[in-house]
A and B are shown apart, each in its own frame.
Chain A
Amino acid sequence: MDASNYLYISALLFTIGAVGVVVRRNAIVVFMCIELMLNAANLSLVTFSRINGDLDGQVMAFFTMVVAACEVVVGLAIIVAIYRSRRSASVDDASLLKR
């Protein structure tokens, strides 16, 4: 199968993630969409690695997974702190800072 099909899937996943970040209101869902974007980038990396015939892209995909895990730790800490003090994880409710 042509490897470029995986690039189309990855672009599609990335777009779904990006649209999700913009339209969804729950901080957890927004965060999941960001993770989807990171994983779409991972899929591209692995596909390019296959096309180019070397391993650099796969190595980078591993680094991305580790970084994404760290991001989850920091992100959930912040979202949980917000939820505890507001009883809501909606990004619309957080509007103390004036526009």
Chain B
Amino acid sequence: MTFTSPVLSYALLSPVLILLGGALIGVLVEAFVSKALRPVVQLTLSLGTLMLALMQVWRIRGEESLTPAMGSLVIDGPAVLIQGSILIIAIISIFLIADTEHFTPLPAALPGSAEEREAEQAGNQVTEVYPLTLFAVSGMMIFPIATDLIMLFVALEVLSLPLYLMAGLSRRRRLASQESALKYFLLGSFASAFFLFGAAYLYGFSGSITFSGIQAAVVGGTGNDVLLLIGMSFLSIGLLFKVGAVPFHSWTPDVYQGAPTPITAFMAAATKVAAFGAMLRIYYTVFANAEWSWIPVISAIAIISMVLGSLVAIAQRDVKRMLAYSSIAHAGFLLSGIIALNKSGLDATIFYLFAYGIATVGGFAVVTLVRDSSGEVTDLNRWKGLGKRSPFAASAFALFLLAFAGIPLTSGFIGKFSIFSAAYENGATAVVITGVLSSAIAAFFYIRVIVLMFFTDAVEDGTAVEVPSILTRATVVISAVITLVLGIYPAPVLDFITDLAIFIR
């Protein structure tokens, strides 16, 4: 028996390899560096790793290869764009994660126990979040470039497992945080079991685990369509769960509310980009010729997500839950880019993902700033009059809300406009009409929050806006600048995306 050694193009894989290397060094830092030095070492290491990976992604832009890793991965324009977006989002989220105020000093201690108090007095910090974040980011980087079912499944788990743990690390309201970790974990692995079962049936249908093999079987039409339909629907359940589309959304509000806010910011933005990146590749290439079977279902899911997300968000009194329901509505808007199934839909979805991800991180960054003596204040009633107390935080939050609502001169308008016009080109009129109507409903509750912050008298109940640390301020300012620039002068970015975004098969 002969054994051929695999041929890897290290240059094209370098962003992922750098991240995994950085994460492993991070684990060693936990073991060998003194407690006092760890936070600064870990922060520098993580930031350096992410920056280096981003530089590598920039350098390999425009390169295309079907075989950077023996046909298991692919590097092309959309891959580079999605990876770049994930890295930029991760960098600005790391600034938020660096604020140790959010994480429990000793996750293993019982909430309220003596050990926990001792750890807090000793100034302990869970610096493990940095390597966990890097592992999650490397999973997210692999997920959209995977071209076989094994890589796809392993990447899905590598991105999910660290997030399950990080959701349980909150310093305040620890029981709620642990509860959100449990819910996220149980529902997440439930969804991955469906995903795996679907993958098994796709393999049974096509006799191949590579995307190209499955696509050939779909085009050839010789296989058993029952196997294809089972495989496709179960695989889609796993993906739709990750993006939080109705009816697989029930984890979203609880996890968004319970997890530490910096983790919520990172997870909400980066997971969505990674999962939609993978969905784009799967639906635009592998399943493209079976569109008769999935376009009606995905359209229905998009419509329900948009309507339910927007309607339920109106009733929320908690700002994190409100943003969670708004993210469900946005999952619906993004699905209309999948349904579009044309070049402009691909461009629009990638632009929307980037714009939405940045605005999400910025929005949650502002949420971390509004605090009283016992931690963050997320009750919207206590946000009254925030504009008078802290014009900086309130105007930044207003900008992000306007971007979510899709008001002109923010990134959200360009994103929504291009994604809906792409879906309209493909004849998805019902989805577009519902999308525009639910955008209008959504605008109502976004603007209600703005009115609450600026035109209502403040109540004196000890709610104050923390003076932001330099890193948190950087997150807010960078996100706000990107959101504005993408809204006022999007042409260079749109052109860049249009030039690059072509799937190779």
Give chain A's interface residues, CB within 8 Å of chain B: 7, 14, 17-18, 21, 27, 30-31, 34, 37-38, 40-42, 44-45, 47-49, 51-52, 54, 56-57, 59-60, 63-64, 67, 70-71, 74-75, 77-79, 81-82, 84-86, 91, 94-97
Contact = CB atoms under 8 A, between A and B. Distances in A.
Interface residues of B, number: 44
Interface string B256-296: 01100000000000000000000000000000000000000
A97 B154 contact: no
Given A34-B186, A74-B165, A78-B181, A59 B150 contact: yes
B157 A31 contact: no
Nearest to A34: B189
Given A78-B182, A85-B178, A37 B197 contact: yes
Contacts, number: 127
A97 B111 contact: no
Contact of B186 (A17, A37, A70, A91): A91
Interface stretch (B168-176, B381-389, B395-403): B168-176
A44 B197 contact: yes
A48 B203 contact: yes
Contacts of B192: 38
B233 interface: no
Given A40-B197, A85-B111, A60 B209 contact: yes
B41 interface: no
B193 A41 contact: yes
Contact of A57 (B165, B186, B197, B200): B200
Contacts of B7: none
Contacts of B193: 14, 17-18, 34, 37-38, 41
Contact of B258 (A30, A44, A56, A97): A97
A61 to B, nearest CB: 9
Contact of A45 (B110, B179, B203, B207): B203
A81 B177 CA distance: 11
Contacts of A52: 203-204, 207
B182 A67 contact: no
A95 B182 CA distance: 11
A15 to B, nearest CB: 10
B190 A21 contact: yes
Interface string B196-222: 110111011001110000000000000
21 contacts: A14-B197, A27-B186, A37-B190, A37-B193, A42-B200, A44-B197, A48-B204, A52-B207, A54-B207, A56-B209, A57-B200, A57-B209, A60-B153, A63-B153, A67-B153, A71-B161, A81-B168, A82-B179, A85-B174, A85-B178, A96-B175
